[in-house]
Amino acid sequence: MELEVRHLRALCAIAETGSLHKAARRLGVSQPSLTTQLRRIENSLGAELFSRERSGCRPTPLGRAVLTRARPLVAEMAALVVEAKAAAARAQGARLRVGSTASSALPGWLGRLRRRLPDTDISLHVDVSANALLRMVSSGQLDVAFVHEVEGCPLLVPDGVFRRVLMEREPQFISMSRDHPAAAAPVVELRDLAEDRWIVDPTVDGEWDGLRRVLAAAGLNPPVLHGDYHTAASLIAVGEAVAPCQPTSGGREDMAVRPLLGDPLAVRLLLCTPPGPQEPYDEVYTDLESAYREAATRAAVYRQWLRRHKSPLITPAA
């Protein structure tokens, strides 16, 4: 078997994540498929490249030597693809491929971009996985990606991808049914939700790990349900569960959104762009900043939080 770039990319992913399971998820393949691929690579080279342990996979001495040569090759191939796609895009006309995790700022951001760039073909790709979007930026499939990074769960940012911080620490609020006892208070304590079921989307990078860390620190071990956003909203509205939510979340008659005392849950908001000159993205960032400010001040509960914390996002009259 001859080694190909995809094989080297797989070896780098296993080394960087330290786990066949995590590497398979990053590469978008099944774990058995990746395990078989690794075995074939090792058979081709005549020795093991990783030692399998309970805590994960660690490169053997031969593995480290191979990775030393593989990483720059993978990076060079990624750069080649990015540059080739950028050249093709320039030949085809102006376009802007936007990626984002879910955000209330998206409609305002896209509207501003379309008004600023009326002759540009603007597309949108939404994904629950911030890491998937970052890989798309790195491979030249997206021009920009607006993502959130759960506190305590760093994203896997590919080499060369540029990051601008929109919000260093955005608090995550709690969504509950309108008639939940805790909804009567302007700020909720975690212990007020100790008897509730929590629902999270396990496909959102870092969300479950971040929530589990915060609950454990508070000495809580509530039952947890896994579901997507629409399922969560239905269960929350009827009092079957509570869930973390973005502070810019729009209000609903059957649900209440409240901040947590001490803001133990938080994310960092980032605009990520490909390697190279960053000036073309200055106005893209400015439009995002304006759209986020608009979404933040439109959400009454978040607006009050921003006032209390004297955030520069909000003026005294807002």
Q: What is the pLDDT of residue 179?
A: 94
Express each pLDDT in 273-301 by its tens digit: 998 888 889 999 999 999 999 999 999 99
Euclidean distance between CA atoms 7 and 14, whole angstroms: 11
Euclidean distance between CA atoms 202 and 19, whole angstroms: 18
Express each pLDDT in 155-166 by its tens digit: 999 999 999 999
| Mean pLDDT per 10-residue interval, the chain, length 318 residues | 88 91 88 92 92 87 92 84 67 82 95 92 93 94 96 93 96 96 95 94 90 94 89 92 92 90 96 90 95 94 92 65
Express each pLDDT in 217-234 by its tens digit: 999 999 999 988 888 999
Is the dihedral angle over the CA atoms 79, 25, 266, 232 positive or is it negative? positive
Q: Are 210 and 150 in contact (CB under 8 A)?
A: yes
Euclidean distance between CA atoms 285 and 270, whole angstroms: 10
Report the Cα–Cα distance between both ends of the chain, in Å, rounded. Answer: 65
Tokens of 26: 């990053």
Q: What is the pLDDT of residue 317?
A: 44
- Element (DSSP H or E) covering residue 65: helix 61-92
- Give which of 260, 274, 157 is closest to 206, Cα–Cα: 157
